[in-house]
Amino acid sequence: MRVCGWIIRKKVFGKIVILEISGDTSSKPYVLALKKDREPQLFELAKELPIGTALCFEGELAPEQKSKRGVEYIAKEIKVYSKPLEPLPVDTIGKVPALLDTRIKYRYLLLRNPAEKAIFKIRESMLRAAREYFVKNGFMEIQTPKIVAAGAEGGATLFPVKYFEYDAYLSQSPQLYKQMLMSSIPRVYEITPYFRAEKFDTPRHLNESWGIDAEIGFIESEEDVMHVLENLIAYIVDYIRKNNEEELDILGIELKPLSVPFKRITFEEAVEILRSEGIEVPEGEDLTEAAEKKLGEIMASKGYDIFFITRFPWSATGFYYMRNEDGTTRKFDLDYKGLELSSGGQREHRYDKLVEALRDKGLNPEGFKFYLEAFKYGMPPHGGFGLGVERLLVKLLGLNNVREAILFVRDRNRLVP
C-alpha cells in the first residue's frame, strides 16, 4: 500500500522513531514505528525529518495495532518530496490550540489536523447526501447565474460589480431563477454560494456562504415544501451517522437521528411564547437573533430541538411569498437549537398578485420584468427553500462559529486568503 501525506507528529524513543502522518484518505493519522534494528536506513532518515515534511511511504498494515490515535503501518520504503523551509506557524497535531483567527488564516495547514479535517469531511458528506436525496426524489440539479441584475430581496445587502455598461450585483440567492424554472421543470435543486453585503460581524454571519436550494412545482401548500426539507435534513443526518463514524469519533460527537415530522408552531404562537418569558417582539417584525436564541432554548426544554415557525406576517417577508386572507403568509423558518437554518414557503404564482406584491413592498415591477415574464405562461403553484450549509454543520457538530464550518472565510474583515 502506498500512502502520501505530511508528518504531523514525531517522537524519538531511543532506537525507535514514531511518525504520525496526515494522509490523503483517512481522517485518523497513519502511524509508522521505525526501529533501528529492523529498518536501519528508514530509522536514520526519519530521525532527520522535521514536522511538516511531505512524503509517501510503501508499507503494510501492522499485525499489532498499538497506536491509540491512528492506524499503524510497517514501512518498507519512504520517499521524501518536500521539507518545510521554516517551522510551521500552527500546531497541526492540535496539542497547542489556535485562536479562531489563526485557524482561519492557516486552515490550509490545519487540515492536516485530524479534528479539522473531520469537520470538512463531514461537510463533504452533507453535500453528497443532499445530492443523493434529491436524485432519489426526482429533482434535477441546476446552476443559476451569480452575476445578476436584481436581488431576490429587492435590492438590499447587494454587492455591486462592474459588468460592462450595466448595473449588476453578486447573487444573494437563486430564488428568482428557481421560480422561473417552475414554468418547465417542477423539481429543481442547486448547491450554491450566497453573497450578502451585510456588515454584521457575528458568529452566525458570513458575506459569502453556501446553501442547498430547492424549488417544487404543483404543490398544494407550504406543507409540501416543509415535508421535503425535513426529510432532506433527516436523510443528511442518517448519511453522516452511517458514513462518518471515524470523523464523529475524532470530534467526540454522538449524532442522534432526527425523527420527522418536525414540530410546527405559528409565528403568532412563537411571539406568545416569547412574551410569556418577558421578551417583546415588535408588531409586524421578524424575530431578532436574541429572540430566536431564546425561543430555541424554550422549545428545547419542551423536547423540540428542531422546529418550524409558520405563517409569518406579510410585513416581515419577501415580496414573493403567497399571502393568506388573514394577512399572514405561507412563509416558514426552520430553527435548530436557536439558530435559523432555513427559510422557505409557498410563492405567489399569480402574475397580477405578484405585481401587486412588488408595489406593496415599494419595489418597481420594471426592475423585475425578466422574472415576471415567466409568470405569464402557465406558472403552477410552487414553493421552495434555502438551507444554510455552514449553519447546519455548526449545529450538527456543536461548533461555536460559522467560520469554523467553511474552508476560506469571506466576512466583513476578510478578503484573503
Half-sphere exposure of 350 (CA within 13 A, CB side): 6
pLDDT of residue 156: 64
| Cell numbers describing residue 206 | 458570513
Task: Tell me: pLDDT of 266 over 90.
Answer: yes
CA angle 367, 372, 374 (to 5 degrees): 140
Pick the residue with more confidence: 360 or 69?
360
Percent pLDDT > 90 in the chain is: 88
CB under 8 Å to 358, separation ≥6 — which residues?
A: 319, 364, 365, 368
Pick the residue with more confidence: 1 or 220?
220
pLDDT tens across 364-409, in order? 999 899 999 999 999 999 999 999 999 999 999 999 999 999 999 9
Strand partners, 190: 213
pLDDT of residue 24: 79
Provide mean pLDDT across the span 182-194.
98
Q: pLDDT tier at 69 (50, 70, 90 boundaries)?
A: confident
pLDDT of residue 281: 86
CA angle 228, 230, 231 (to 5 degrees): 65
**Mean pLDDT of the chain, nearest integer:** 95
Q: Report the distance separating Cα 322 and Cα 330, nearest Å.
A: 6
Q: Report the distance separating Cα 218 and Cα 142, nearest Å.
A: 19
DSSP-assigned letters across all residues of 102-156: HHHHTHHHHTTSHHHHHHHHHHHHHHHHHHHHHHHTT-EE----SEESS-TTSST
First to last CA, the chain: 35
CATH architecture of structural domain 114-405: 2-Layer Sandwich (3.30)
Contact between 308 and 265 (Cβ < 8 Å) = yes
Q: Report the distance separating Cα 129 and Cα 191, nearest Å.
A: 12
pLDDT of residue 292: 94
Contact between 32 and 47 (Cβ < 8 Å) = no
Task: Tell me: pLDDT of 29 over 90.
Answer: yes
Q: Report the distance separating Cα 36 and Cα 201, nearest Å.
A: 54
Q: Report the distance separating Cα 124 and Cα 394, nearest Å.
A: 14
Q: Report the distance separating Cα 191 and Cα 388, nearest Å.
A: 10
Instruction: Delimit the domains of the chain by residue range.
Output: 2-87, 114-405
Provide mean pLDDT across the span 57-69.
90
Q: pLDDT tier at 126 (50, 70, 90 boundaries)?
A: very high
Task: Tell me: pLDDT of 9 over 80.
Answer: yes
Contact between 110 and 103 (Cβ < 8 Å) = yes
Contact between 47 and 13 (Cβ < 8 Å) = no
pLDDT of residue 359: 96
Q: Which residues are catalytic?
A: 196, 198, 204-205, 340, 343, 391
Q: Taking Cα atoms as reference points, which of 148, 193, 139 lies closest to residue 170?
A: 148
Residue owning grid cell 406584491: 357
Contact between 392 and 240 (Cβ < 8 Å) = no
The burial of 166, by beta-carbon neighbours within 10 Å (0-12 exposed, 13-18 middle, 19 or more buried), is given as exposed
pLDDT tens across 311-335, in order? 999 999 999 999 999 999 999 999 9
Contact between 358 and 321 (Cβ < 8 Å) = no
pLDDT tens across 334-356, in order? 999 999 999 999 999 999 999 99
Kindly compute the dihedral angle of the four CA atoms of residues 394, 397, 400, 404, in this order, to the nearest 10 degrees.
-70
pLDDT of residue 68: 83
Domain 2-87, CATH class in plain words: mainly beta
| Cell numbers describing residue 402 | 460559522
pLDDT tens across 291-311, in order? 999 999 999 999 999 999 999
Task: Tell me: pLDDT of 124 over 80.
Answer: yes
Provide mean pLDDT across the span 159-163.
94
Percent pLDDT > 70 in the chain is: 99
Q: Report the distance separating Cα 213 and Cα 386, nearest Å.
A: 4
pLDDT of residue 155: 54
**Amino acid of residue 90:** V
pLDDT tens across 132-160, in order? 999 999 999 999 999 998 776 655 689 99
Residue owning grid cell 420594471: 366
